[in-house]
Amino acid sequence: QVQLVESGGGLVQTGESLRLSCVVSGRTFSSMTMGWFRQAPGKERDFVAARKWIGERTYYADSVKGRFTISTDNAKNTLYLQMNSLKPEDTAVYYCAQSTPLYPPVRADLYKYWGQGTQVTVSS
C-alpha cells in the first residue's frame, strides 16, 4: 500500500507562484513513476507532469512546460510541483499519483495510488 498526501494549494493571482507537496509513505521504490494531474470542474483529469522517483528525466504537458517543475526529495519522501507564472486556466484540483514504471507516464488510468487532491485557484 502507498499513501499520498498533497498540500500547498491555495488562491493566488495571475502571475504568482505556488509549490505543491505530496508526501509519500508505505511501499515505495526508486523506479516508481510519480505524476501530477489536475481536474477542473466538469472536465477530465489531465496529465500535468511526471518523473521517476529517482532519475533525471521529466515529462510535462505542453500547457505547463517552462512554467512548472516536478522534483523529488528522497530524504523527505516528498514529491513537489513548483508552479510559476500561474494563469486562470491552471485553476483545478491537483492530484499526485504513483505507479509502477510507466512510459509514457501520461495516462491517469495507469496510476494505481492517488492522493486526495489540493485546490489551486488562480484569479485574473
Whether 5 and 22 have beta carbons less than 8 Å apart is answered as yes
Compute the distance between CA of residue 52 and CA of residue 44 in angstroms, rounded to an integer: 24
Give the pLDDT band of residue 102 (cuts 50, 70, 90).
Answer: confident
Whether 19 and 83 have beta carbons less than 8 Å apart is answered as yes
Note the pLDDT tens digit of each residue in 30-84. 889 999 999 999 999 999 999 999 888 999 999 999 999 999 999 999 999 999 9
Note the pLDDT tens digit of each residue in 19-31. 999 999 988 888 8
Whether 52 and 106 have beta carbons less than 8 Å apart is answered as no
Show the cell assigned to 55: 532519475
